[in-house]
């Protein structure tokens, strides 16, 4: 494999032509203000080394990447029981779709579409005393950075425009698949999505999935080895929604995206990667980010297949 830093250094030129083909998320007004030309990437290896390029130390809104933290914590506490309330099948629909719930008795297809993440958030509320504080402490611990924070402006912006998620929560509740009050679930979910951190922080935080569930900075398991494998397999099949097939085809690694423009990818046993660029394609995934991951995986000769 070519030196990691050399591959990273060649990326800005490789992805240069990919800019200008998409737009930052518009349905959360605060996200549409972000400079579309941003590009950063970070790698954190299981040996503890970091490699970064571009805007890798700039904070951005992690949005649905938070669903992996949400799921990991809930699996840690609830174990297998969680999967009575949420499935493990790719949805083939947009991340905020309502339609499948009608025919599937309010059981969301997987934990990474919004409906699934709302159910997981509801389940997690049973185990955490101070949800907001405990969730943030968890992410700060994983990234080893106490500056990671909730972005109140993004939270408010999504809260004020979150009718689709409110509809999903109401619909789930009508099937009896939410225990807590709808506003409590939505509030906690929007806070999770509003977490602000950098590519470097995210690459570090996701290292537990590259090393069989072991915490990157503490002598403890975040999740069990089997659970880490399962989270990776869910990222592979569902992490980028109705573009997961395309990601498997072009990148060949478990990935999780967010509408803030971040994408995290895992090379099991070796490293975690985070790329950020705010312009999104029609499926809500970063266009430049996907291109960068495709190039990196090919150059580095890595794929889980």
Catalytic residue among 241, 257, 288, 294: 241
Residue from 129, 174, 179, 136 nearest 155 by CA: 136
Known catalytic membership, residue 173:
no
Of the pair 70, 114, the CB lying nearest ligand GLN is at 114
165 contacts ligand GLN (rule: CB under 6 A): yes
Known catalytic membership, residue 159:
no
Catalytic residue among 44, 64, 143, 198: 64
Residues 64, 70, 110, 157: which binds ligand GLN (CB under 6 A)? 64
Which residues of 138-261 form beta strands (DSSP E)? 149-150, 195-197, 255-257
Of the pair 63, 272, the CB lying nearest ligand GLN is at 63
- Nearest distance in Å: CB 65, ligand GLN: 7
Q: Which residues lie below 8 Å from residue 35, measured CB to CB, with a gap of 6+? A: 278
193 contacts ligand GLN (rule: CB under 6 A): yes
Known catalytic membership, residue 46:
no
22 contacts ligand GLN (rule: CB under 6 A): no
Q: Whose structure tokens read 């004020």? A: 160
Round to whole Å and give the CA distance between 15 and 200.
Answer: 20
Residue from 291, 286, 277 nearest 60 by CA: 277
CA 268 from chain centre, in angstroms, equals 17
Known binding residue 158? Answer is: yes
Catalytic residue among 67, 173, 214, 256: 67
Subset of residues 86 to 105 that bind ligand GLN, contact rule: CB under 6 A: 95-96
Catalytic residue among 195, 223, 259, 275: 259
Round to whole Å and give the CA distance between 303 and 255.
Answer: 12
Question: What is the spatial order of strands in the sheet that 149-150 belongs to?
Answer: 60-61, 195-197, 149-150
Residue from 256, 258, 294, 249 nearest 277 by CA: 258
Q: Which residues lie below 8 Å from residue 226, measured CB to CB, with a gap of 6+? A: none
258 contacts ligand GLN (rule: CB under 6 A): yes
Kindly determine how many residues on this chain lie close enough to bind ligand GLN according to the rule CB under 6 A: 11
Residues 205, 259, 263, 266: which binds ligand GLN (CB under 6 A)? 259
Known binding residue 241? Answer is: yes
Catalytic center residues: 64, 67, 189, 241, 259
Question: Which residues contact ligand GLN by CB under 6 A?
Answer: 63-64, 95-96, 114, 158, 165, 193, 258-259, 284
């Amino acid at each position: 494999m070519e030196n990691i830093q050399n591959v990273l250094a060649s990326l800005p030129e490789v992805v240069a032509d990919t800019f200008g083909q998409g737009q930052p998320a518009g349905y959360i007004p605060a996200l549409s203000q972000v400079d579309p030309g941003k590009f950063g990437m970070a790698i954190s290896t299981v040996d503890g080394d970091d490699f970064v390029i571009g805007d890798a130390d700039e904070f951005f809104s992690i949005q649905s990447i938070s669903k992996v933290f949400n799921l990991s914590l809930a699996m840690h506490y609830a174990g297998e029981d969680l999967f009575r309330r949420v499935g493990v099948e790719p949805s083939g629909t947009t991340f905020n779709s309502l339609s499948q719930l009608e025919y599937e008795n309010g059981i969301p297809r997987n934990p990474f579409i919004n409906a699934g993440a709302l159910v997981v958030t509801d389940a997690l509320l049973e185990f955490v005393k101070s949800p907001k504080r405990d969730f943030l402490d968890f992410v700060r611990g994983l990234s080893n950075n106490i500056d990671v924070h909730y972005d109140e402006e993004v939270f408010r912006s999504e809260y004020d425009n979150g009718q689709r998620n409110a509809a999903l929560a109401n619909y789930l509740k009508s099937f009896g698949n939410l225990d807590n009050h709808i506003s409590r679930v939505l509030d906690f979910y929007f806070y999770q999505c509003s977490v602000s951190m950098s590519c470097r922080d995210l690459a570090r935080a996701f290292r537990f999935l590259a090393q069989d569930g072991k915490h990157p900075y503490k002598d403890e398991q975040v999740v069990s080895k089997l659970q880490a494998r399962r989270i990776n397999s869910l990222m592979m099949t569902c992490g980028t929604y109705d573009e997961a097939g395309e990601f498997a085809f072009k990148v060949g690694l478990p990935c999780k995206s967010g509408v803030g423009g971040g994408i995290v990818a895992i090379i099991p046993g070796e490293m975690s990667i985070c790329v950020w660029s705010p312009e999104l394609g029609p499926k809500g995934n970063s266009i430049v980010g996907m291109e960068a991951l495709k190039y990196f995986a090919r150059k580095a000769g890595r794929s889980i297949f």
